[in-house]
Chain A
Amino acid sequence: EVQLLESGGGLVQPGGSLRLSCAGSGFTFSNYAMSWVRQAPGKGLEWVSAINGGSSVIYYADTVKGRFTISRDNSKNTLYLQMNSLRAEDTAVYYCAKDQGVAGSSKRTFDYWGQGTLVTVSS
Protein backbone atom coordinates (compact mmCIF):
# COMPACT_ATOMS: atom_id res chain seq x y z
CA GLU A 1 0.00 0.00 0.00
CA VAL A 2 1.37 3.39 -1.02
CA GLN A 3 1.77 5.76 1.90
CA LEU A 4 3.09 9.30 2.10
CA LEU A 5 3.68 10.86 5.50
CA GLU A 6 4.56 14.55 5.80
CA SER A 7 6.15 16.13 8.84
CA GLY A 8 7.90 19.32 9.85
CA GLY A 9 5.07 21.83 9.78
CA GLY A 10 4.46 24.33 12.53
CA LEU A 11 4.36 27.98 13.51
CA VAL A 12 7.16 30.18 12.22
CA GLN A 13 7.70 33.94 12.21
CA PRO A 14 7.81 35.93 8.97
CA GLY A 15 11.28 35.71 7.47
CA GLY A 16 11.92 32.39 9.17
CA SER A 17 12.71 28.96 7.78
CA LEU A 18 11.22 25.50 7.98
CA ARG A 19 12.01 22.15 6.40
CA LEU A 20 9.24 19.76 5.49
CA SER A 21 9.77 16.03 4.99
CA CYS A 22 7.66 13.40 3.26
CA ALA A 23 8.41 9.73 3.84
CA GLY A 24 7.20 7.39 1.14
CA SER A 25 6.53 3.66 1.39
CA GLY A 26 4.80 0.92 -0.54
CA PHE A 27 6.41 1.83 -3.87
CA THR A 28 9.88 2.16 -5.42
CA PHE A 29 10.43 5.76 -4.35
CA SER A 30 13.34 6.49 -6.68
CA ASN A 31 11.28 5.60 -9.76
CA TYR A 32 8.76 8.39 -9.36
CA ALA A 33 8.71 12.14 -9.64
CA MET A 34 7.27 13.87 -6.60
CA SER A 35 5.65 17.23 -5.99
CA TRP A 36 4.61 19.55 -3.20
CA VAL A 37 1.15 21.08 -3.43
CA ARG A 38 -0.24 23.55 -0.88
CA GLN A 39 -3.65 24.76 0.17
CA ALA A 40 -4.17 27.98 2.08
CA PRO A 41 -6.96 27.86 4.70
CA GLY A 42 -10.33 27.76 2.93
CA LYS A 43 -8.72 28.13 -0.49
CA GLY A 44 -7.92 25.97 -3.50
CA LEU A 45 -4.90 23.90 -4.45
CA GLU A 46 -1.61 25.44 -5.58
CA TRP A 47 1.24 23.41 -7.04
CA VAL A 48 4.55 24.45 -5.44
CA SER A 49 7.43 22.36 -6.76
CA ALA A 50 8.33 19.10 -8.51
CA ILE A 51 11.40 16.90 -8.71
CA ASN A 52 12.11 13.88 -10.87
CA GLY A 53 13.32 10.56 -9.54
CA GLY A 54 17.00 11.29 -10.06
CA SER A 55 16.83 14.90 -8.82
CA SER A 56 18.09 16.14 -12.20
CA VAL A 57 14.90 17.99 -13.17
CA ILE A 58 13.30 20.48 -10.78
CA TYR A 59 10.52 23.02 -11.22
CA TYR A 60 9.12 25.73 -8.96
CA ALA A 61 6.10 27.96 -8.94
CA ASP A 62 7.03 31.62 -9.38
CA THR A 63 5.56 32.38 -5.96
CA VAL A 64 8.25 30.33 -4.21
CA LYS A 65 11.19 30.45 -6.65
CA GLY A 66 14.36 31.59 -4.94
CA ARG A 67 12.95 30.95 -1.46
CA PHE A 68 12.03 27.25 -1.46
CA THR A 69 14.24 24.28 -2.38
CA ILE A 70 12.96 20.82 -3.17
CA SER A 71 15.19 17.79 -2.76
CA ARG A 72 15.01 14.08 -2.13
CA ASP A 73 17.08 11.30 -0.57
CA ASN A 74 16.19 8.08 -2.35
CA SER A 75 18.22 6.03 0.12
CA LYS A 76 15.79 7.21 2.79
CA ASN A 77 12.67 7.27 0.57
CA THR A 78 12.16 10.86 1.65
CA LEU A 79 11.20 14.09 -0.11
CA TYR A 80 12.05 17.49 1.36
CA LEU A 81 11.01 21.09 1.01
CA GLN A 82 13.33 23.70 2.50
CA MET A 83 11.37 26.91 2.96
CA ASN A 84 13.25 30.15 3.63
CA SER A 85 12.16 33.79 3.88
CA LEU A 86 8.68 32.69 4.78
CA ARG A 87 5.77 35.09 4.35
CA ALA A 88 2.26 35.19 5.74
CA GLU A 89 0.94 34.14 2.35
CA ASP A 90 2.88 30.87 2.62
CA THR A 91 0.51 29.78 5.38
CA ALA A 92 -1.09 26.58 4.13
CA VAL A 93 -1.40 22.84 4.44
CA TYR A 94 1.46 21.37 2.43
CA TYR A 95 0.86 18.05 0.71
CA CYS A 96 3.42 15.82 -0.92
CA ALA A 97 2.10 13.99 -3.94
CA LYS A 98 3.36 11.07 -5.98
CA ASP A 99 3.47 11.30 -9.76
CA GLN A 100 1.38 8.75 -11.61
CA GLY A 101 4.01 8.09 -14.26
CA VAL A 102 6.33 5.12 -13.95
CA ALA A 103 10.12 4.88 -14.07
CA GLY A 104 11.24 8.25 -15.35
CA SER A 105 8.13 9.06 -17.37
CA SER A 106 6.49 11.84 -15.40
CA LYS A 107 2.78 12.29 -16.07
CA ARG A 108 2.44 15.39 -13.87
CA THR A 109 -0.69 13.80 -12.44
CA PHE A 110 -0.89 12.88 -8.77
CA ASP A 111 -2.22 9.46 -7.86
CA TYR A 112 -1.32 9.45 -4.15
CA TRP A 113 -1.23 12.27 -1.64
CA GLY A 114 -0.07 12.54 1.94
CA GLN A 115 -2.36 13.80 4.69
CA GLY A 116 -0.65 17.19 4.72
CA THR A 117 1.28 19.25 7.24
CA LEU A 118 0.20 22.72 8.33
CA VAL A 119 2.62 25.62 8.07
CA THR A 120 1.58 28.84 9.79
CA VAL A 121 3.62 31.98 9.23
CA SER A 122 2.74 34.57 11.82
CA SER A 123 4.33 36.83 14.40
Chain B
Amino acid sequence: EIVLTQSPATLSLSPGERATLSCRASQSVSTYLTWYQQKPGQAPRLLIYDASNRATGIPARFSGSGSGTDFTLSISSLETEDFAVYYCQQRTNWPLTFGGGTKVEIK
Protein backbone atom coordinates (compact mmCIF):
# COMPACT_ATOMS: atom_id res chain seq x y z
CA GLU B 1 0.00 0.00 0.00
CA ILE B 2 1.29 3.45 -0.93
CA VAL B 3 1.39 5.76 2.07
CA LEU B 4 0.91 9.49 1.49
CA THR B 5 2.26 11.88 4.12
CA GLN B 6 1.01 15.44 4.08
CA SER B 7 2.72 18.35 5.76
CA PRO B 8 2.23 20.46 7.66
CA ALA B 9 -0.83 19.15 9.46
CA THR B 10 -2.00 22.74 9.98
CA LEU B 11 -1.06 25.90 8.15
CA SER B 12 -2.02 29.23 9.73
CA LEU B 13 -2.04 32.05 7.21
CA SER B 14 -3.76 35.34 6.50
CA PRO B 15 -5.89 36.15 3.46
CA GLY B 16 -3.69 37.26 0.59
CA GLU B 17 -0.74 35.13 1.67
CA ARG B 18 0.67 32.23 -0.32
CA ALA B 19 0.04 28.67 0.85
CA THR B 20 2.35 25.78 0.08
CA LEU B 21 1.18 22.27 0.97
CA SER B 22 3.28 19.13 0.64
CA CYS B 23 2.40 15.51 -0.11
CA ARG B 24 5.07 12.83 -0.06
CA ALA B 25 4.52 9.26 -1.29
CA SER B 26 6.21 6.16 0.14
CA GLN B 27 7.03 5.06 -3.42
CA SER B 28 6.83 6.65 -6.83
CA VAL B 29 3.34 7.45 -8.09
CA SER B 30 4.62 9.08 -11.29
CA THR B 31 2.26 12.04 -11.78
CA TYR B 32 -0.84 10.13 -10.70
CA LEU B 33 -1.54 12.42 -7.77
CA THR B 34 -4.80 14.23 -7.07
CA TRP B 35 -5.70 17.08 -4.70
CA TYR B 36 -9.11 17.65 -3.10
CA GLN B 37 -10.48 20.45 -0.96
CA GLN B 38 -12.98 19.79 1.82
CA LYS B 39 -14.88 22.37 3.84
CA PRO B 40 -16.69 21.55 7.10
CA GLY B 41 -19.90 19.61 6.53
CA GLN B 42 -19.27 19.28 2.81
CA ALA B 43 -18.08 16.58 0.47
CA PRO B 44 -14.58 16.82 -0.98
CA ARG B 45 -14.13 18.79 -4.20
CA LEU B 46 -11.68 17.89 -6.95
CA LEU B 47 -9.02 20.58 -7.37
CA ILE B 48 -6.01 19.17 -9.21
CA TYR B 49 -5.57 15.88 -11.06
CA ASP B 50 -2.48 14.21 -12.48
CA ALA B 51 -0.31 16.42 -10.30
CA SER B 52 -0.74 19.68 -12.18
CA ASN B 53 -4.05 19.84 -14.04
CA ARG B 54 -6.74 22.09 -12.61
CA ALA B 55 -10.22 20.58 -12.60
CA THR B 56 -13.11 22.36 -14.27
CA GLY B 57 -14.00 25.63 -12.58
CA ILE B 58 -10.98 25.73 -10.27
CA PRO B 59 -9.43 29.21 -10.04
CA ALA B 60 -5.95 29.82 -11.43
CA ARG B 61 -4.61 30.69 -7.98
CA PHE B 62 -4.51 26.93 -7.32
CA SER B 63 -1.58 25.09 -8.86
CA GLY B 64 0.00 21.68 -8.42
CA SER B 65 3.46 20.39 -9.16
CA GLY B 66 5.70 17.42 -8.61
CA SER B 67 6.34 13.89 -9.78
CA GLY B 68 7.63 10.65 -8.35
CA THR B 69 7.32 10.96 -4.58
CA ASP B 70 7.17 14.70 -3.86
CA PHE B 71 4.23 16.93 -4.69
CA THR B 72 3.13 20.46 -3.88
CA LEU B 73 -0.20 22.25 -3.92
CA SER B 74 0.17 26.03 -4.01
CA ILE B 75 -2.45 28.69 -3.48
CA SER B 76 -0.96 31.94 -4.73
CA SER B 77 -3.08 34.37 -2.73
CA LEU B 78 -5.50 32.97 -0.18
CA GLU B 79 -9.14 33.97 -0.41
CA THR B 80 -11.43 33.52 2.60
CA GLU B 81 -13.18 30.61 0.85
CA ASP B 82 -9.87 28.74 0.55
CA PHE B 83 -9.62 28.05 4.29
CA ALA B 84 -10.35 24.34 4.38
CA VAL B 85 -8.73 20.92 4.60
CA TYR B 86 -6.77 19.64 1.61
CA TYR B 87 -6.15 15.98 0.82
CA CYS B 88 -3.88 14.31 -1.69
CA GLN B 89 -4.74 10.93 -3.24
CA GLN B 90 -2.72 8.52 -5.36
CA ARG B 91 -4.21 6.54 -8.22
CA THR B 92 -1.17 4.49 -9.20
CA ASN B 93 -1.94 1.33 -7.27
CA TRP B 94 -4.84 -0.35 -5.51
CA PRO B 95 -5.80 0.30 -2.83
CA LEU B 96 -6.30 3.96 -3.59
CA THR B 97 -4.95 5.96 -0.67
CA PHE B 98 -5.33 9.46 0.70
CA GLY B 99 -2.98 11.58 2.74
CA GLY B 100 -3.96 12.59 6.24
CA GLY B 101 -4.84 16.13 5.18
CA THR B 102 -3.56 19.66 5.72
CA LYS B 103 -5.84 22.17 7.39
CA VAL B 104 -5.38 25.71 6.16
CA GLU B 105 -6.71 28.01 8.86
CA ILE B 106 -7.03 31.74 9.25
CA LYS B 107 -4.22 33.25 11.29
Chain A residues close to B by CB (< 8 Å): 35, 37, 44-47, 50, 59-62, 95, 100, 107-116
How many chain B residues touch A (Cβ–Cβ < 8 Å)?
Answer: 24
Check: B64 CB closer than 8 A to any chain A CB.
Answer: no
Q: How many A-B residue pairs have CB under 8 A?
A: 57
Q: How far is the CA of A114 from the CA of B42 in the complex (A)?
A: 9
10 residue pairs, one from A and one from B, having the closest CB atoms: A108-B91, A113-B43, A47-B96, A45-B98, A44-B101, A109-B49, A109-B34, A59-B94, A111-B46, A61-B95
Whether the pair B43, A95 counts as a contact (CB closer than 8 A) is yes
Docked Cα-Cα span, A35 to B46, in Å, equals 15
B residues near A (Cβ < 8 Å) are: 32, 34, 36, 38, 42-46, 49-50, 55-56, 87, 89, 91, 94-101
B49, A116: Cβ atoms under 8 Å?
no
Residues of A contacting B38 in the complex (Cβ-Cβ under 8 angstroms): 45
Contacts of B46 in A (CB 8 A): 100, 109-112
